[in-house]
């Protein structure tokens, strides 16, 4: 409920430029920062499903009755919740759902205005595995969209590069190739890490950002 109200406020302050990114999370520091025990993968997806469903209802601000929106689930509770005056963007702030597995992709197909994937490499080949995996996941997303009565084109496709060996910011030529490969797969947005000279991993020449901007960004 707090997240929904915060999002509605930012949506108003930004003039309708907010998109909410949601995911099941993983292990490591992020999973333990509040002192709780890490959840099993299935539990994380269960929590994502419940959170996304409730957030969708709250942001649409369509009360179940005179007493507002109520919810009592395994992970979240809401009593008489209202999100007024509602979002600037209609029917609500867009949701971008990060998903790689079958169950989480179903959540993206049902609720997502956009789908996010890392395109994780599943074998040592890395560089060419990510596009193949994105294709497989995207086809699964298409099938799930049809099951939920949605058109595949209703869901944008976002690839966050960086979990494999394909360094697409190593040169403008590498970036051009990535744009072509992912564009053929229907990807609508390609997200990269901003290079930093002192970073252990993302230390490609910073000038690549200007080169990408000059060639690919719409000056409007």
pLDDT in tens, 131-160: 989 999 999 999 999 999 999 899 999 999
Determine the length of the chain: 220
* pLDDT above 70 coverage of the chain, percent: 93
Asked if pLDDT for residue 164 goes beyond 90, the answer is no
Split at pLDDT 50, 70, 90, the class of 36 is confident
At 63 the pLDDT is 62
Contacts of 134 (CB under 8 A, 6+ apart): 117, 119, 157, 159, 182, 185, 187
Cα 211 to Cα 102: distance, rounded to the nearest angstrom: 37
Q: What mean pLDDT, rounded, does the chain reach?
A: 90
**Mean pLDDT, residues 38-49 taken together:** 94
Model confidence at 12, pLDDT cuts 50, 70, 90, reads very high
| Per-residue pLDDT band at 52 (split at 50, 70, 90) | very high
Predicted local distance difference test score (pLDDT) of residue 126? 46
pLDDT at residue 48 tops 50: yes
For the ranges 17-26, 40-49, 62-71, 111-120, the lowest mean pLDDT is seen at: 62-71
Answer yes or no: is pLDDT of 127 > 60: no
Q: Cα 76 to chain center, whole Å?
A: 21
Q: In terms of pTM, does the model score above 0.85?
A: yes
Q: How confident is the model at residue 120 (pLDDT cuts 50, 70, 90)?
A: low
Average pLDDT over residues 179-195: 94
């Amino acid at each position: 409920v707090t997240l929904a109200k915060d999002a509605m406020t930012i949506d108003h302050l930004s003039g309708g430029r907010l998109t909410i990114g949601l995911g099941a999370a993983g292990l490591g520091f992020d999973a333990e920062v509040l002192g709780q025990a890490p959840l099993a993968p299935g539990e994380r997806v269960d929590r994502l499903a419940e959170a996304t469903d409730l957030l969708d209802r709250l942001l649409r601000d369509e009360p179940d009755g005179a007493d507002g929106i109520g919810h009592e689930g395994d992970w979240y509770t809401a009593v008489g919740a209202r999100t007024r005056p509602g979002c600037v963007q209609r029917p609500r702030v867009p949701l971008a759902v990060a998903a790689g597995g079958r169950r989480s992709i179903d959540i993206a197909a049902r609720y997502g205005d956009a789908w996010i994937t890392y395109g994780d490499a599943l074998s040592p080949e890395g560089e060419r595995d990510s596009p193949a995996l994105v294709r497989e996941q995207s086809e699964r997303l298409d099938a799930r969209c049809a099951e939920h009565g949605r058109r595949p084109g209703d869901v944008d496709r976002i690839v966050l590069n960086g979990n494999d060996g394909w360094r697409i910011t190593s040169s403008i030529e590498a970036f051009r190739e990535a744009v072509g490969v992912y564009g053929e797969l229907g990807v609508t947005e390609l997200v990269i890490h901003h290079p930093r000279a002192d970073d252990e991993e993302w230390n490609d020449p910073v000038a690549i950002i200007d080169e990408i901007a000059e060639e690919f960004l719409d000056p409007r």
